[in-house]
Chain A
């Protein structure tokens, strides 16, 4: 499993590992959704979606990416697994395109993805650690 849950007194952490920065974007989304929904079986909707992020650094890019997924869920009750991902790690830019899918029933609520104790290390293997405010 490319992600593990880390213990935290009040909240929860996720550590995600991948072989490339693009895979880390995908696996971070998978791990995040698995935490929120448990098993995710996808029902694709016709709605196309694009996420474009320009950040200050790579850590902000990953925290923003997961918070963007939370925003999509909060406002549309959808999940987003992009089909194409372009990442420029030096400029901290991300372009993700794909379709939205109908969200399964929620198992665990997440308020936000925080920067507290967050780290991203360049690879391979690429590694991301974030703590979630629950």
Chain B
């Protein structure tokens, strides 16, 4: 068998699994995760990524790995700047889809007394659902400014706070964004959607910290037992989807030009040194800036709603991080520091203590890593580690990871039954479409606690706190 277990949570996919693999696959998982993985197409996708030119170390799969398109979801791959490539399929359609956690200074009992009204107010204030239009009406010129400046744009326009910026990856602005590389079609799609949550697995959740695992790091992050938090999960909406689609076509042509062949067309790519790669990087960063601004604006709307209910309350941003991105980062490659292009498709960057990119207040302990659970289950705050930096390009999981297809999930239970079951556990759910509730049942996902235990046992990130849901808003 090509899959070889090397320790309780590490499995190697040997190069003889598929002709053309340039490196082995390294999969993080326990027996339950590996059994699920073998039932579907994700192993082939891990092997396909290992065939890409200039890949370094391994084609990695985090324990929330599952069958995606092109890259598996939970896939991480880094490429040399000289011999390597960039692939829009390694980032995905929802460019810079990610999560943020905001900390309130309110306790669970205070929120419990008004949870129905608070959830309804958030549902009404934060536009969600497919094709939802944002509360902001902006011109095309303003949108170009969003694409160039990201969350900084939102802060300058009064939809956020300047102190938020240091707690957003890249300080809220991807510096090499090129709005000119974004098509008219993408701009047309993105203009009315700024400040919207979207649909599918995107959500806004009110949570409470119910367990602390690392008191020292939790103190540094400002996390206390019983404290209410808000988690926001969304991305770059139609703008990002269009950028990905536009550049997949560019890459198909580039592959002919540069003589590259790939085992799956969704993995189409161009050499990192090429003009096509520069254009894509510029457009991708612009779409990421849109996503960072989007989450900052939604965070502002959440602050307004909480302010109506708790006038003395304040919400502080813990961190905001993407899990669908390609970043140029400095890593150790064969004993030397080198710039490499790290693709994380459904995987989270997790910088260790001391990393220069981290804000001063987190530099001593490491980056907060946000791992949302499925609807109705716990979420986690982790912290990045030195081992993760050295072994898998400072990456970790991004969630629970699906095990059940949406079609199968839709057949399992009626929406009313699901909502009642969650309400019995003290979790209020409001959703724009009933179909979303059925597709997103907790059983459609792996047990997030098990996924998080794997990354902790592997030492690539460490548990800090667990968050229990009180109310969920879905698109």
Chain A contacts to B: CB under 8 angstroms: 5, 7-12, 56, 59-60, 64, 67, 70-71, 73-75, 77, 106-109, 111-112, 114-118, 131, 133-134
Contact = CB atoms under 8 A, between A and B. Distances in A.
A54 B403 CA distance: 38
Contact of B241 (A12, A56, A111, A131): A111
A129 to B, nearest CB: 12
A71 B130 contact: no
Contact of A116 (B89, B129, B245, B252): B89
Nearest to A8: B405
A28 to B, nearest CB: 16
Given A112-B93, A112-B244, A117 B407 contact: no
Interface in B247-286: 248-249, 252-253, 264-266, 268
28 contacts: A7-B405, A9-B40, A9-B403, A9-B405, A10-B73, A10-B402, A11-B406, A60-B252, A74-B131, A74-B189, A74-B238, A75-B189, A106-B129, A106-B130, A108-B439, A109-B130, A109-B198, A109-B200, A109-B475, A112-B241, A114-B69, A114-B89, A115-B69, A115-B264, A115-B265, A116-B265, A117-B69, A133-B241
Which of A64, A108, A115, A131 neighbours the largest number of chain B CB atoms within 10 Å of its CB? A115
B185 interface: yes
Given A7-B407, A109-B199, A114 B475 contact: no
Contacts of A11: 68-69, 406
Contacts, number: 106
A87 to B, nearest CB: 19
Nearest to B186: A71
A59 B264 CA distance: 13
Given A9-B66, A109-B199, A116-B69, A71 B131 contact: no
A117 B264 contact: yes
Contact of B69 (A7, A107, A133): A133
B407 A10 contact: no
State the main secondary structure of chain A at its contact with B: mixed
B445 to A, nearest CB: 10
A9 B41 CA distance: 9
B131 A116 contact: no
Nearest to A134: B200
A111 B265 contact: no
A115 B66 CA distance: 17
Contact of B67 (A8, A75, A115): A8
B442 interface: no
A10 B398 CA distance: 14
A71 B189 contact: yes
Contacts of B89: 114-116
A73 B241 CA distance: 14
B164 interface: no
B265 A77 contact: no
Interface string B178-195: 000000010011000000
Contacts of B129: 106
B185 A71 contact: yes
B68 A7 contact: no
B94 interface: yes
Contact of A71 (B199, B242, B268, B402): B242
Contacts of B75: none
Interface string B36-77: 000011100000000000000000000000111110010000
Contacts of B265: 59, 115-116, 118
Contacts of A74: 131, 189, 238
A25 to B, nearest CB: 18
Nearest to A55: B249
Contacts of A7: 405, 407-408
A21 B393 CA distance: 46
A91 to B, nearest CB: 16
Given A11-B406, A12-B406, A109-B200, A115 B268 contact: yes
B313 interface: no
A75 B239 CA distance: 11
Given A11-B406, A112-B244, A134-B406, 11 more contacts: A8-B406, A9-B42, A9-B403, A10-B66, A106-B129, A109-B475, A111-B241, A114-B89, A115-B248, A116-B89, A133-B92
